[in-house]
Each structure stands twice: as C-alpha cells, then as structure tokens.
Amino acid sequence: MTVTPVEIRYARADRTLHVSFEDGASFDLPAEYLRVESPSAEVQGHGPSQRKYVAGKRLVGITAIEQVGVYAVRLVFDDLHDTGIYSWDYLYEMGQERDTRWAAYLRALEARGLSRDP
C-alpha cells in the first residue's frame, strides 16, 4: 500500500527534508542520510552484494526536489548526485527504518576505515 506525502519541505539551515504523509506519519530525513541511502544503482548496485558505501557526505545538501510523476521525487544534491528516484514508499520506509539503517551505515564506514567527513 502506497502512502502519499501531503508535504515535502527542505530546511536548508539544518539540511533536512521534512516529509509528512497522509496517514499522519512525519519524518525528518537529513540530506546526508538521503544521499548515502540513495536508491540509485550508483549506491545500491544491482543487488545486495554490489552495495556501495558512500563516504564524506556529512555536509551534503539538497539543491532541488523534482517531482517524478505522481509516485516519487528526484533529489538533486550539491555534490551533483541526481540519479536516485525516491518513491513515496521508499521515503516512508527510510523514515521508519532511519535509526537501523543509519547505525548499519556507520558500522559499514568504520569497518572500511571511511569517514563521514569530506
């Protein structure tokens, strides 16, 4: 079941995308989190074994939010990444799983000797 957002707003000052859904759920998604969890093949690969861990994105911001049909947005980041299409379902899932996904990302960076800093 797809839940549609009723508001998508980006706060430049804290580099956070605020997304509110029709079911009452609301999530604050940092640009860094959205960038490193991009649904693009560049990040996700073409299967779980091809997943890439993007480092150095602590200060990344969003420069544009472009609607894609009635089901998604494309986020354009200031590091020029713009190939991820964030469906409503994916944004919702990212909000619900934020703590778990973020912890896994931090562990993966540490295991690879990588940093969030540019």
Query: Residue 37 is encoded by which pair of tokens?
Result: 């969890």
Give me Rg for the CA atoms of the chain: 14
The neighbour count for residue 86, using CB atoms within 10 Å, is: 24
Per-residue pLDDT of the chain (118 residues; tens, 9 = 90+): 689 999 999 999 999 999 999 999 999 999 999 999 999 877 887 777 778 889 999 999 999 999 999 999 999 999 999 998 999 999 999 999 999 999 999 999 999 999 999 9
What does pTM read for this prediction? 0.93
Q: What domains can you pick out in the chain, each with its CATH number? A: 5-111 (3.30.2020.30)
Give the Cα separation of 14 and 3 in Å (integer). Answer: 26
